Structure 1
Amino acid sequence: MRPALLTALLALAATGCATPGFEKLYPGMTAAQVADTMGKGPVRAQEFTDGSSAWYFDEDHCVLMRDQVLVAKSTTETRTAVHTPVASLKEQDKAWCGPPGTDGRHEQRIETPFGTFKGTVDPAAVTDQVRNSVRNQQVPPPSEGGPAPRPAP
C-alpha cells in the first residue's frame, strides 16, 4: 500500500507543475472560453501594434489573441544540446506569443557541478576568442635577411 501512496503523491506533484487546461486550448476559442478552460485569466498580457495581444499564464505557457479569439499558443521547449559527465548544455525557446514575424527569447543554460550559468553560448564566438588569445601569445617569425632578435636580459 505504501508504494501506491508514494506513486500517487509523486504523480500529483509532477502534474502540479503543469498548467492545467492548457492542452485543451485550440484556435477559434473566445477569450471567455480560454479563461474558463484555464480556470483563471492570464498573469500578464502584452499588446501589439497590430491589435493582437499575448496572454501569459506563466513563463512557459501563452496564447495569442486577436479580436478576442485565440489564434495561436506556445509553450517553452527545452532540448539538451550537449550532455557529458562534467557538464550539460540545455537550450530553451521560451514561450512566445507575438504577431507573425516577431521572435521570442532563446536561452541557454550550462549546468556543471560548480553551478548553473545562464546566457547565450555562441560556439563561433568562443572559437574566435580562443584563436585570438593564442595568436596574441605567439612570437612573430624572425624577419628575413637579419639575425633573429635576442631577448632582453
Structure 2
Amino acid sequence: MRLSILTAALAFAAAGCATSGGFDKLYPGMSSQQVVEAMGSGPSRAQEFPDKSTAWYYGEDRCVLMREDKVVTKATTEENTTVDAKVITLRDTTKAMCAPAEYATTPKREQQLDTPFGTIKGDLDPSAAVKKVKGVVTGEQEQPEKTEQATTPAP
C-alpha cells in the first residue's frame, strides 16, 4: 500500500513542477494524498529510511518527512547570514533536510559569494582561501602527501 502511494506521488512529480504556495498549508498528521493535493504534485525525489519513514523533497529547498502515510514534520532551506556590501554579497544557507532523529546527519550548508568578477558557490572555508592566496603571492604550492608504493607487483 505504502509503495503504491509513493509510486503514485512520484508519477505526479513527473507531470510537472511543484509550487511553493501549497507548502505553507502542510501540517503534521496530513495524509500523503492531502500533501500531493496541497502541493499540486508529488515530490521531485524521495528518500526512504530503515524505520519506514520517507523524506519527500520538493526541489532542493523544501522537504516533508512522512511516516505511516502521515506528515511528521517539514523543513525549508534557511538563509543564515547575508552580508550585502556595495561590492560583494555573501549568502550562507542551510539546505532543507528531513530525516528521523536517529538518522539525522549534519545539514548541508552552502555559501555563495557574488563579486563584480563572478560568483563563487560551495563551501567557502576562510582558512583554505588564505592558503590559496598565500600560495599565489609567494609562488609556493602545497605539496601533496607522499604515499608508499608497493614493493611487490600485483598479480
Shorter-chain TM-score bucket reads 0.5 to 0.7
Distance in 2 separating the partners of 1:127 and 1:68: 49
**Separation in 2, partners of 1:47, 1:31:** 14
RMSD value over aligned CA atoms? 2.5
- Hey, what's the Cα distance between the residues in 2 that align with 1:134 and 1:113? 21
**SS of the residue 1:21 aligns to:** helix
TM-score by length of 2: 0.66
Rounded to whole Å, the distance in 1 between the matches of 2:137 and 2:39 is 56
Q: Is the 8 A contact 2:77 2:96 kept in 1?
A: yes
Unaligned runs of 5+ in 2: 1-17, 141-155
8 Å CA contact 1:65–1:71 kept in 2: the answer is: yes
Matched, 1:119 2:152: no
Deviates more, 1:67-76 or 1:118-127: 118-127
Residue 91 of structure 2: aligned partner: 90
User: CA separation in 2, counterparts of 1:117 and 1:110?
Assistant: 5
TM-score, structure 1 as length reference: 0.67
1:104 and 2:95 aligned: no
Q: Return the index of the structure with the highest Cα Rg.
A: 1
**Separation of aligned partners in 2, 1:114 and 1:126:** 16
Name the count of aligned residue pairs: 121
Matches within 5 A, 1:28-67: 28-67=29-68
Q: Is the 8 A contact 1:54 1:63 kept in 2?
A: yes
For residues 109 and 75 of structure 1, the distance between their equivalents in structure 2, rounded to whole angstroms, comes to 18
Most deviating of 97-106 and 37-46: 97-106
Which residue of the partner structure matches residue 75 of structure 2?
A: 74
Quote the offset at 1:80 in angstroms: 3.6
Counterpart residue identity of residue 40, structure 2: G
The 1:78/1:18 distance shift into structure 2, 3 A limit, reads farther
